[in-house]
């Protein structure tokens, strides 16, 4: 070791060209600065990677996207400076290796969007190119052919491969292959027991798969094909279906087994009084069904019928099931390997730091400290995120259910209980974004930022496109939606029949498009909000007031900001929204008009023949019809609450899984959760709806 350190000191102190010229010194300063800045950016990406998905803050998303996009260019520029430097310094190839291969492969920020995941082949080619470039750079320093750099480079090559394999595993094509097993199992799961023996309260008869034996390795591309085939007790299917069958052995964990576990950790009187650990396993099982939708598989009607009973029961119990799209395949060997590699990765920079101190080189000391700190922070952060992820917790619980030894071990129960109670990231903020046409129609975006010249760089805002403050998702909204689940959905007609107002108000549900219906009822709801305020209502009608106004503003937000999530073509929806904004501007006045005067002008629109068939005119007509014809003013909000709940369920069914996957990566939308529920329950829109 002493000879190695002496050799390292000699090479550091003996550059090919002494740094006496101003140009060489200036270039070295630029390299040091770029290395420190790039390392800091990559640490930000590594730490924020797992926390950005549930975050809906646009400023944070923009900063993360800028860092993700600009980092490769900064790394390439830094490598160019190092490669063309007129001096030889041992620090340069070592720093380049860490920068390109280690920090440049931040596991928790492998891709920024769904499109990046599908370009996993391009990522592999890019990784190979960077690896070759760095190899050439190191080879140009002849004296670096020693064992230290060889070992270091092999370790970092392993990290390259690990990241590229993870990205490939998350691609849709590979998911389709992996989830074929689940699709085959779910096509026959409802036949494993009699339907009269099913109880969603105790999960009796619900043999939904949580974990199969060796499932992590079976879905891993790193394992051998033969081993993957024998990883779980799957049997080849018989003709004519050729569906593979799963033998439910003791090693296969189902939802029913989790609920029947006698261990103290999962008992109500022990470590799971609120049932949260069991719910986590159920969430993971239901997550597999949504993955079937993402990968193009479908379930039989019997499976949907069974799921519908479960969904209704759990919603009425006020349980919540939240998940992201991709699980973490937790391998104990991989997690231990990450910790074992950390000292090796830090060893070489520590040697550089020691000799920088001995040479009194402050700049090298600072850069090396930044490098070491970056390595430690990124590795430890990703390790902690992995072992405390929801998917890791499911692994712990499944191993606990399998092992009677663990169930008798109080220390194991305590450790698993503590780890499962740590929640690093909330999958969804439980907020409803809101939009009000009558409050925001006068808004005009800044022309200096949003114009034709910047259209290629920024998502453009249109007139009237300004959100109001978001609101928290109320329990009353969830209960109302749970009560309204039906086999087929209509545009609010069911709610009108339920309130004996179908003859009077059905015209407002039979408009040209769903966008027309939403905007007309949204304007009417806003008018009623001022004509029959919340202060005049009883507690029951106050709850209905909250349901109606929150869902009205939320569906209007979807029209303005997420038209792909609604029925009909998104470009058509955008155009109709723009016309509604223009109509409001023409008839209700500019931004200086108070809300009271806007409501007064809205009532006067009814008498104007030119606006009678417009969205604004129809909204005013519907609002005044509700105010004048419904005798009990509190009943107005019962009618509106029922209508908006029905509309929320009506717009949710969709075959466009890509749009829901896209919004899941940026915080998620409430309509996606409803889409999950109606997908589980097999609920569809009216088949005669031509939209």
Task: Give the pLDDT confidence of 565-586 residue by residue, as tens digits.
Answer: 888 888 999 999 988 888 888 8
**Mean pLDDT of the residues in the chain:** 74
Phi, psi dihedrals of residue 234, rounded to the nearest 5°:
-95, 140
Pair 149, 240 in one domain: no
How far apart, in whole angstroms, are the C-alpha atoms of residue 654 and residue 389? 29
For the stretch 149-194, pLDDT in tens is 566 566 666 666 666 666 666 666 777 777 777 877 787 777 777 6
Q: Are residues 137 and 195 in the same domain?
A: no
Tens digit of pLDDT for each residue in 475-528?
888 888 878 876 567 777 888 888 888 788 888 888 888 899 999 999 999 888
Kindly state whether residues 191 and 152 are assigned to the same domain. no
Does residue 201 share a domain with residue 164? Answer: no
Residues 6+ apart with CB under 8 A from 530: 595, 596, 599
**Which of 287, 316, 345 is a domain's end point?**
316
Q: Which residues span the domain enclosing 634?
A: 482-683
pLDDT tens digits, 373-416: 777 777 777 778 778 888 888 888 888 888 888 888 888 888 88
Residues 11, 348: Cα–Cα separation, whole Å: 14
Q: Are 167 and 117 in contact (CB under 8 A)?
A: yes
The span from the CA of 7 to the CA of 352, in Å, is 12
Q: Give me the pLDDT at residue 18, please.
A: 47
Q: Is residue 629 part of a domain?
A: yes
- β-strands 234-235, 431-434 pairing: unpaired
| Residue closest to 643 by CA, chosen among 468, 448, 460, 506 | 506
Rounded CA gap, 423 and 420, in Å?
8
163 in the same domain as 186: no
The answer to whether residue 362 scores a pLDDT higher than 60 is yes
Element (H, E) at 44: helix 22-48
Residue identified by tokens 């719910």 is: 279
Q: How many residues does the chain have?
A: 691
421: in domain: no
Query: Which among 365, 387, 409 is the end of a domain?
Result: 387
* Amino acid 135: pLDDT: 64
Higher pLDDT: 541 or 323? It is 541
Range of 74-83, 205-214, 342-351, 507-516 with top mean pLDDT: 507-516
In a domain, 72, yes or no: yes
Beta strands 684-685 and 488-489 are parallel
204 and 76 part of one domain: no
Q: What is the pLDDT of residues 421-479, one digit of tens each?
A: 887 766 666 788 999 888 888 887 777 777 777 766 667 778 888 888 888 888 888 88
Same domain, 225 and 281: yes
- Residue 6 sits in the same domain as residue 146: yes
Radius of gyration in angstroms for the set of CA atoms belonging to the chain, rounded to a whole number: 30
Residues 551 and 609 in one domain: yes
In the chain, the number of structural domains is 3
Task: Please indicate, yes or no, if residue 405 is contained in any of the structural domains.
Answer: no
């Amino acid at each position: 070791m002493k000879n190695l350190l002496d050799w390292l000191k000699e090479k550091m102190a003996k550059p090919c060209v002494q740094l006496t010229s101003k140009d060489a010194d200036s270039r070295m300063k630029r390299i040091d600065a770029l290395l420190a800045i790039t390392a800091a950016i990559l640490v930000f990406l590594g730490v924020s990677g797992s926390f950005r998905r549930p975050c809906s803050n646009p400023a944070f998303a923009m900063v993360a996207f800028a860092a993700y996009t600009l980092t490769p260019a900064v790394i390439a520029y830094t490598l160019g400076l190092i490669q063309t430097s007129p001096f030889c310094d041992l620090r340069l190839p070592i720093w380049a290796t860490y920068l390109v291969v280690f920090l440049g492969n931040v596991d928790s920020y492998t891709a920024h969007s769904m499109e990046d995941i599908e370009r996993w082949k391009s990522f592999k080619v890019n990784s190979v190119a960077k690896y070759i470039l760095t190899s050439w750079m190191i080879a140009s320093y002849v004296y670096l052919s020693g064992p230290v750099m060889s070992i270091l480079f092999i370790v970092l090559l392993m990290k390259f491969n690990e990241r590229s394999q993870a990205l490939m595993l998350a691609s849709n094509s590979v998911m389709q292959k992996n989830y074929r097993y689940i699709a085959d199992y779910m096509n026959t799961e409802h036949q494993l027991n009699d339907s009269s023996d099913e109880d969603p309260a105790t999960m009796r008869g619900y043999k939904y798969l949580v974990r199969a034996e060796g499932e992590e390795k079976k879905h891993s591309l790193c394992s051998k094909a033969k081993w993957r085939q024998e990883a779980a007790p799957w049997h080849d299917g018989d003709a004519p279906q050729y569906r593979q069958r799963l033998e439910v052995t003791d090693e296969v964990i189902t939802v029913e087994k989790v609920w029947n576990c006698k261990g103290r950790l999962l008992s109500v009187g022990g470590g799971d009084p609120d049932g949260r650990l069991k719910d986590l396993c159920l969430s993971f099982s239901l997550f597999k069904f949504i993955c079937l939708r993402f990968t193009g598989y479908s379930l039989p009607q019997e499976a949907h019928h069974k799921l519908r009973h479960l969904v209704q029961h759990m919603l009425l119990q006020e349980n919540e099931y939240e998940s992201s799209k991709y699980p973490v395949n937790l391998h104990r060997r991989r997690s231990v390997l990450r910790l074992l590699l950390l000292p090796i990765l830090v060893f070489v920079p520590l040697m550089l730091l020691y000799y920088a101190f001995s040479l009194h080189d402050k700049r090298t000391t600072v850069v090396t400290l930044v490098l070491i700190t970056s390595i430690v922070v990124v590795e430890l952060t990703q390790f902690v995120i992995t072992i405390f992820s929801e998917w890791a917790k499911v692994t712990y619980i499944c191993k606990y259910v399998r092992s009677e030894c663990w169930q008798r071990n109080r220390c194991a129960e305590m450790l698993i209980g503590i780890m499962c109670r740590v929640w690093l990231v909330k999958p969804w903020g439980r907020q409803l974004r809101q939009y009000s046409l009558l409050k925001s129609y006068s808004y005009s975006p800044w022309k200096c930022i949003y114009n034709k010249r910047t259209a290629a760089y920024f998502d453009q805002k249109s007139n009237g496109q300004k959100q109001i403050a978001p609101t928290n998702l109320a329990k009353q909204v969830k209960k109302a939606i749970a009560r309204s689940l039906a086999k087929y959905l209509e545009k609010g007609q069911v709610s009108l029949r339920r309130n004996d107002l179908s003859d009077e108000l059905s015209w407002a549900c039979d408009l040209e498009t769903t966008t027309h219906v939403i905007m007309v009822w949204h304007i009417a709801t806003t008018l009623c909000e001022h004509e029959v305020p919340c202060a005049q209502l009883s507690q029951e009608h106050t709850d209905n007031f909250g349901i109606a106004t929150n869902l009205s503003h939320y569906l209007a937000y979807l029209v303005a900001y997420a038209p792909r999530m609604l029925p009909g073509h998104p470009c058509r929806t955008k155009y109709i929204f723009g016309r509604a904004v223009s109509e409001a501007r023409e008839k209700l006045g500019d931004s200086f008009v108070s809300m009271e005067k806007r409501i007064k002008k809205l009532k006067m629109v009814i008498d104007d023949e030119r606006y009678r068939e417009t969205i604004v005119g129809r909204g005013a007509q519907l609002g005044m019809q509700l105010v004048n014809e419904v005798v009990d003013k509190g009943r107005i909000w019962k009618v509106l609450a029922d209508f908006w709940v029905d509309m929320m369920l009506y717009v949710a069914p969709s075959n466009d899984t890509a749009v829901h996957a896209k919004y899941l990566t940026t915080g998620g939308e409430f309509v996606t959760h409803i889409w999950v529920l109606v997908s589980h329950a097999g609920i569809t829109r009216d088949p005669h709806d031509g939209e």
